[in-house]
Every structure is written in C-alpha cells, then in structure tokens.
Structure 1
Amino acid sequence: MLLDQKEVLALLRCPRSGAELDKLDDQNAKVASSTGDIHYEVVNGYPILLCSERCKGLGWQLSSDASAVPRNTYSGAMKVMKRLVSPPSGATKKNVDTLISTLFEVRRKPRVLIVGGGTIGEGMDRFYEDVNIELVSFDVYASPNVQFVADAHCIPLGDNSFDAVIIQAVLEHVMDPGMVVSEIHRVLKPNGLVYAETPFLQHVHEGPYDFMRFTESGHRLLFRQFSLVKSGVCSGAGTQLLWALEGFFSGLFRSHWAGKAIKLSLFWVMLFDRLIPEKYNVDAANGVFFLGAKSECSIGNAEIVAHYKGAQ
C-alpha cells in the first residue's frame, strides 16, 4: 500500500546533492535541501524533484502535472477488449508471487519502490493493495499512483533504503538505462531485490519517448551488478507476432485503428506462447524479465555470454 505522504517526505533527498529535504511553510508550497541553497516546488501535494544538472533524462523538460503521452482509461466493453489483447502475463504473476514471498521471508513490512508508477503495471496491483507492504512510487508526471515526481536517472532517495525495486516497461523510455540501473542499485539495501520487465521485439510505442530494446542476454548485461534469481521471457513469440501484425496492418491501411482491429481479431495468437519451448521464445520474445539481488561485484563478460538461453 502506498506509504503516507508525510513518511515519504522524510525519505526524500535532493536529486542534485543527495542532502535531506526540509518542508517550508504551506504558503510557500516548497521543499528545500537541508543545505538551504536549493528549493523545489510542491504542486497539488506532489514534490517536483526534477533536475537537469546531474541527470541525462527528460524529466526536467516535461510537464509535472500531466503525462507527455496520452494515458487511456478503459471501462465496459473497451475494458474487456483491452484485456483480450493485453491479458495479464502468467510469467509476471509467478514472478510477483516469488518476489513477494521472498520479501516477507526477510521483513514483516518490506519497503518497495516502483520506478515509473504513474499507471499501475500489469500484475502489480498486489503491491498497492497489501497493507503490509510500504510502497513508494514515482514517475515524471503526477498521478494518484505516485507520491512525488522525479527522474529515474537521479532518484531522490537515500542509499540502501529499499528492500525491492520494481521497474516495469520503463527502461525502453530512458536516455541512459545503465545510469537508471545504477541508481536502482544505490537505493537498494544489501541483497535487496530488483524486478524488471522490458521489451525486446515490440514496435515503437509512446512515440518520441521510446529509445531502447533488449534481448534476454542484453537485459542480463544491463543488470550485471546483480546476482541472478531468475530471468527469462514474460511474453513470447506469439505475442511478438501479434504486435508485428498490428504494426503491419496499421502501416498498410495508414490507420492505427486498422491495426487494433486486427489485433483484436487475432488475440488468440498469443496462446502459442505456451506451446513454444522457452529457448525459442527467448530468441523471439516480445518482452523479457529479470529478478535479481543487489551484489557488490559485477559478473564478467564470459558469464554474460554463457548466460544465453536461446535455441541457437
């Protein structure tokens, strides 16, 4: 469950200096670095902790009160259709089960950070609903699902402060994924867990804010500062084919609606993910996942090469 805003304020740090923040009087609606030389606005209750000096991200030039891309909400028949074409991943559910059970083995009330939590990700509802999870969430825009606005390239939180960090469908949208992963490593407690889901073979989404893709091995390389708990495919070749067909028909008919109609009529293609062996899904995955624990040393290049799980 989302941590109370007052408790979150005590956790926040200046994204430029790392110093603690002090709340000024309500009339000013600002927070300040404890050094007294840097101030940040508080807009509608959300501290806006964006900086351009230290980070390589886009947060400093985005609106803090609205997403730079449309965020649709669905209800009724549209919600049913959305669920048909984007059903919850079985792999995500199993991974969330593993993550939560592991956390509760270590802590009675684990503290979890969601990076890019402006919208609740597929399968992540449990973190928002469980009263025994102290959840902190942020994004580059304000929403009811976050407590502050920040850029993942310079996370305004202290070192060694979280039991787990979740970053789902975010790393493809950042300028420097390595820097973001280093920040995740920094804010995790020793042996803290990270869970990431990132696209491999997907067409561009969110337009100009889509930059990166990762193979399963490339994802492992990105998280080389973490020991492996498990990794693999969260959506396979069948899902990837459905995405490709959507893109093909959108282009052929010069209409995104044409692509969505094809995706809706052929949603059953995703079921082939379950019939295709994992090693073939690895080479043609729509998306990959990584679950790992913070380590004090990085794995070597030879281990990265040996990690390959595909069919080639």
Structure 2
Amino acid sequence: MRDLLPILRCPTCGGALGRESETYACAACGPFLTTGGQPVLVDFERSILEREGFVARAGASPIPRRGAPAALKRIFKGRNAAAERTAGAMNARLPKDALVLVVGGGAVGSGAEELYGGHLELVGLDIYATPNTRLVADAHDLPFADESFDAVWVQAVLEHVLDPARVVSEIWRVLKPGGLVFADTPFMQQVHEGGYDFTRFTNSGHRWLFRRFEEIESGVSGGAGSALLWSIRYFIRAVTGSPRLGAVAVVPLFWLRFFDGRSRAHADAASGVFFFGRKSAESLAPADILQFYHGSRSDR
C-alpha cells in the first residue's frame, strides 16, 4: 500500500500537506482531524458536514441506518450487471498497482467486488470512516493533486452530493490524462438516506454531466422493472408510514426486476443509469446530447 502523502492536498487552499504527530497538516491552514487512524481532510466551512457533529459521532455515518439489510437488498435489487461488467473491464484495462479512487467507498457497491483484492490499489473515501476507506473527505473538494489517479469509481453517490457538476469536475481534475471513470446514479428512485439525498439524472442528463469524458459504455443499471419495485415499496411505505413494511411487501415481487432491459425505452423508465468513460481534452457540444439520446440502444 503506497504512501498517499505525495498526492494529498489541503481541501481549503490546495497546498501540499505534511505529517504532524499522528495526523496531517497544511502549513497555511493548520492540522486536520483524525478518526480511527484516518485523516479527515474536510473544509467544514464549505461542507455539509458539521465539525461538532462529526466529532460527537466519532467519525461515524451521519445517517443512522444506511439502507436495508444485505440479504433483503440482494432480493430487492439483485446484482448490478453494469457495475460487474465495468469492474471487469477496469481490471483488464489498468496495469498492476494502478491507483483507483473510490468516491463514496465506505461500503462496497453491488457489482464492485472484483475491484477489491485484485491487482489494483484502491483509495476509498467517504464522509465517514470504515475499514474500506483510507480517509474522510468531501467529494466537492477532493484532497488530491491534479492527475493523481488512473481511475475513479463513484457508485450511488452523485444523488447524495449538493453539487454533482462540481464533484465531476473534481473527478476530471484528479484523473490522469485518459484516466477511467465509472458512475452509477439513480433516475427513477424515491428519496433514500433522508436529508442526504438531492438529485436524479436521466440517461441524457447523466451523459451531459460527464460531457468532458469520452464514452466507452453508458446506459441502464436498473430498468423499468426495478423502477416499479422502488415505486411499490415507497407507495406502501407512504400509506402505512412503515419503511419496514414497504421493504417486506416487495419481497414476493422481486421477479419484476427480471423485466429490466437495456433498450432506450428502459433508459426512459430506468431505476438507475451508468456512465463508463475516459478523461478527454474535448467536451460534448449541446447539440451532441440529442444525438446521444437518439443513438441509445434499441435492443433489449
């Protein structure tokens, strides 16, 4: 595991960091917190995270209960085939010990397992510390030098940030020329993780968000069947007031997700969409986005 100090930067001023006792410090901005032995490289003045609350939680997640139990998730969501396919492609494309930033890496995303334990070196960050992370940071101000990473993985994260465009700009900045990115983001999903849920994207909107990247593959990570499951679950939850009852009620309907497809029609009704691409020096033009929509897949 390589030392990250040479690529770490202050999230406030962008200056290089040095070690100070058991943490890191910026010569201009001072030392940073640590939690569980991990540096907390957050500018609390510009972040949704509050310093006092973070300290009171000892670096734990600000969301008391992060989703349904794992077994129920497997029944409800199944496997993320797009993530599995892309994880395999990243392993095949990237050299040994390539440095991969996992934004929102507090938990391993569905289908991302192949990235872990292989030949890639992962640097996980989140707004809370876990064994999967090496530091705590706010993705709006990634605490890394320009062109530090070979790839970035950002799965089920962009709906939980206040300014997705700024986060994607930061991803572009820290990627090496030609570096890879994978993003998986909801379209037709109800609010989850409470107050930390802000945004949704159509397939075209997601592509425009990543307009400074060349597309390798994009499309549906969860189709119309999965979107219907989400709606039924939250309908029951809204009527009964019970999140647990809503989750349990859709278990017998798990088969609806087998109707998911990858066509443009499914993209128009998708539960989630994904983008896999590489950093580019060029950008899509506004007119290109209409061509992107009409060029979407028409097969199942």
Q: Provide the residue aligned with 2:117 in structure 1.
A: 129
Q: Provide the residue aligned with 2:143 in structure 1.
A: 156
Residue 19, structure 1, aligned to residue 19, structure 2: no
8 Å CA contact 2:189–2:231 kept in 1: the answer is yes
8 Å CA contact 2:9–2:143 kept in 1: the answer is yes
Alignment TM-score, normalising by the size of structure 2 = 0.91
8 Å CA contact 1:8–1:136 kept in 2: the answer is no
Shift of 1:71: 4.2
Deviations 1:109-129 (A, max 9, x none): 211000011111111122221
Q: Provide the residue aligned with 2:133 in structure 1.
A: 146
Aligned partner letter, 1:11: I
8 Å CA contact 2:125–2:133 kept in 1: the answer is yes
In structure 2, relative to structure 1, the CA distance for the partners of 1:138 and 1:20 (3 Å cut) is: same
8 Å CA contact 1:230–1:292 kept in 2: the answer is yes
Measure, in 2, the Cα distance between the counterparts of 1:99 and 1:230: 12
How many positions carry a matched residue from both structures?
292
In structure 2, relative to structure 1, the CA distance for the partners of 1:31 and 1:230 (3 Å cut) is: same
8 Å CA contact 2:226–2:271 kept in 1: the answer is yes
Measure, in 2, the Cα distance between the counterparts of 1:114 and 1:99: 13
Deviations 1:5-27 (A, max 9, x none): xx1234321111222211112xx
Unaligned 5+ residue runs, structure 2? none
Residue 90, structure 1, aligned to residue 81, structure 2: yes
- Percent identity, aligned pairs only, is 43
8 Å CA contact 1:236–1:287 kept in 2: the answer is yes
Q: Provide the residue aligned with 2:25 in structure 1.
A: 32
8 Å CA contact 2:181–2:277 kept in 1: the answer is yes
Aligned partner letter, 1:17: C
Q: Provide the residue aligned with 2:5 in structure 1.
A: 9
Measure, in 1, the Cα distance between the counterparts of 2:73 and 2:107: 15
Measure, in 1, the Cα distance between the counterparts of 2:67 and 2:130: 13
Q: Provide the residue aligned with 1:185 in structure 2.
A: 172
Q: 2:105 aligns with which of 111, 117, 120?
A: 117
Measure, in 2, the Cα distance between the counterparts of 1:19 and 1:92: 34
Measure, in 1, the Cα distance between the counterparts of 2:203 and 2:145: 30
Aligned partner letter, 1:88: R
Unaligned 5+ residue runs, structure 1? none
Deviations 1:123-174 (A, max 9, x none): 11222211x2111110111111101111000000110011100100000010
Q: Provide the residue aligned with 2:162 in structure 1.
A: 175
Describe the SS at the equivalent of 1:221: helix
Measure, in 2, the Cα distance between the counterparts of 1:246 and 1:163: 39
Describe the SS at the equivalent of 2:274: strand
Decide which moves more: 282-291 or 109-118.
109-118
Aligned partner letter, 2:111: G
In structure 2, relative to structure 1, the CA distance for the partners of 1:220 and 1:79 (3 Å cut) is: closer
8 Å CA contact 1:50–1:60 kept in 2: the answer is no
Aligned partner letter, 2:63: V
Deviations 1:216-236 (A, max 9, x none): 000001001111111000000
Deviations 1:169-203 (A, max 9, x none): 00001010000000000000000011000000000
